[in-house]
Structure 1
């Protein structure tokens, strides 16, 4: 008998518990040869979370489904809550579920099939966003990534190409990485785990069906994550694994984002930058001088060229889906290969 453990970190989740757990109770796989257990980690909630979870524990017990309740009296953070729930679970497969999200009835069935085919993969899925128009660019990006792009577009502001609330995997995936980072509020524990998984040779699979309703609200844990920390983690990995393979490169974006990146590069890799490229006619043909405030001198001086004259490889610091398709058309016109000729760092 295959056992799937549903891992749920909860902090002050009274508003979401009923919808979330009802969606688990409605899973189509409950009538099959697969058993599920639910492990909820109460991360120091001060609302009615504990009482509601105990009510659902009785509900599931009547249906011969185990809901294991664990937790801490004070908040330890999302990473610690996930680790705590996993440590209390016994399933061969792990299904990560945020308390403010809702599963499609076929989520576990379809993701389990994908995970059974590859025990070395994190399995994600497409999403529906509620409210529908809250983050349209994120939804379009996440739902339209190709299989190849799952491993290529890993340096964007969106974080992991498989959104954390959709993760499903064989237990060995978690055990190989070891655990989620427990630094607490503000730390992108999902991105750190995601990179570790890839660095250990892990695979990525996406079920191209909308199997999760991903809820947007101001209290979501994702809003506590510091964008600056994500950027620094991505930059560190880029300089460790990508830039050492490039003898020279051009940065697409002579504006604020491109200049910031050059200033942040270590000395070894900043010397490899040969130019900025751009589409802004006011910038093309000029020279950008970046100053070092500590030495009070020019750090680097770079020409700005038309994007069409740029030679690969390119490090692209332009956000996707922001120019009504113009940037994407320009990039496509160059007939470059993503991952080989260019990397998106935005």
Structure 2
């Protein structure tokens, strides 16, 4: 870590005693996890709370965490499930449940090394997915009587199938830009126990109604998706949330 890390993060923690304080990082090797590194370094302050549902995990990464012992003891302890348990994600969720904030010192204070033998690679994506869906259902979906899933493809349908029956009934539509999916007109949930089986409309994104749960990965379409989203003039956290 950089020589000024403790001083700068301690100063921020003194001002935000119930927050996890993170910082910007640089990677070693420099070109490893480029999208992820951009994400953790460039999130706006309000996005540190609105983007907590994404597959990237905590919006300030655990190697950068700094908080008071008092706050850690109030939130903790870490889950001790052993290898395969995303203990940082679970602690972060519990921190948010207890009303904690998230703050990032906007200086690169940590050299974050990447290597393929890191324990993080042993955590099953399916395990993290289950925790993420439950947290979305706990924290966000109770505030919405209906919502649209942005992505009628694999990830959007997977989210729909993973929801409780009550939250599936809140899904007013899927939306997409793929004309083939839109022409099909609907998604039929064949494995549903309900009769008749649910048929959820598939709309062009401009014809769909917010709020949206967005299952499109960021920073992968050359800016096309991000421009489509900006064109709707929506407010993140109120009108949409990123889930992918």
Instruction: Give the structure-1-normalised TM-score.
Output: 0.68
- Aligned counterparts of 1:298 and 1:144: Cα–Cα separation in 2: 46
Residue 121 of structure 1 is aligned with which of 15, 19, 42?
Answer: 19
- Aligned counterparts of 1:265 and 1:310: Cα–Cα separation in 2: 20
Q: How does 1:322-341 map to 2 (within 5 A)?
A: 322-341=220-239
Q: For residue 74 of structure 2, what is the aligned residue in structure 1?
A: 176
Q: For residue 308 of structure 1, what is the aligned residue in structure 2?
A: 206
- Aligned counterparts of 1:277 and 1:199: Cα–Cα separation in 2: 30
Rg bigger for which structure? 1
Of the structure 1 ranges 176-185 and 281-290, higher mean CA displacement relative to structure 2 is found in: 281-290
Q: How does 1:35-54 map to 2 (within 5 A)?
A: none
The unaligned stretches of length 5 or more in structure 1 are 1-102
Whether the 8 Å contact between 1:115 and 1:169 is mirrored in structure 2 is yes
Instruction: Give the structure-2-normalised TM-score.
Output: 0.96
Q: For residue 147 of structure 1, what is the aligned residue in structure 2?
A: 45
Q: How does 1:74-223 map to 2 (within 5 A)?
A: 103-223=1-121
1 or 2, which has the higher strand percentage? 1
Greater RCO, CA 8 A, separation 6+: 2
- Aligned counterparts of 1:267 and 1:340: Cα–Cα separation in 2: 23
- Aligned counterparts of 1:303 and 1:119: Cα–Cα separation in 2: 46
- Aligned counterparts of 2:197 and 2:161: Cα–Cα separation in 1: 8
The unaligned stretches of length 5 or more in structure 2 are none
Considering only aligned residues, what root-mean-square deviation do their CA atoms show, in Å? 1.4
1:285 Cα deviation (Å)? 3.1
- Aligned counterparts of 1:190 and 1:178: Cα–Cα separation in 2: 11
SS in 1 for 2:112: strand
Is residue 289 from structure 1 mapped to residue 188 from structure 2 by the alignment? yes
Runs of 4 or more, structure 1, over 6 Å off, are none
